[in-house]
Amino acid sequence: MNDEDRVEQAKPSQDVAQPAFPSDHRDYPLFSAIQAQLPRGTSDEKAAEVLHAVKESGIERADQLRKVTIQDDVAFVFGKTPGFHSETALNTPSPGINVTLQKTAELDQQRTQEMAQFQREREEIDKNPAGPVMTLAAHSQQKMMADASSGDGGGG
């Protein structure tokens, strides 16, 4: 197979119009902020893939984004919160936007469920603030009572 055949085989997939990232999507501001810092000509599909990696790393909104750095065809995205960062290869095939949006929706749903669980647990703790917490004073008093009852009271 020569190079011209390879180019001809690749053309049909390039000619197929890929859907653009929906401008009414809740993550569009973050997507736009990321895309603006990616190299010119980066596809929406790749930008959406970067978006998903960014959201997995904990960056949820455009105002949490610090910068995007490109090195050796890898996009390194850094959040304002230390430790919130991601990396995505720019020279690999991307899943389609619909696949990436589905994965992102699943991630959002999982985070929503985790937050709801956390809120329920927090409310339970707030209802019962004294709960089973043992203070140092109570522990010391318990220990003294135990020592007194097991002392040398049975002399012989």
Q: Beta-carbon neighbour count of residue 129 at 10 Å?
A: 7
Buried b (16+ CB within 10 A) or exposed e, 82-111: eebbbebebeeebeebeebbebbeeeeeee
- What tens digit of pLDDT does each residue of 86-142 get? 999 999 999 989 999 999 999 999 999 999 999 998 888 888 766 555 566 665 666
Q: Is the pTM of this model over 0.75?
A: no
**What would the two tokens of residue 74 be?**
């890898």
**44: Cβ contacts below 8 Å, ≥ 6 apart:** 18, 19, 20, 21, 35, 97
- What tens digit of pLDDT does each residue of 51-88 get? 999 999 999 999 999 999 999 999 999 999 988 999 99
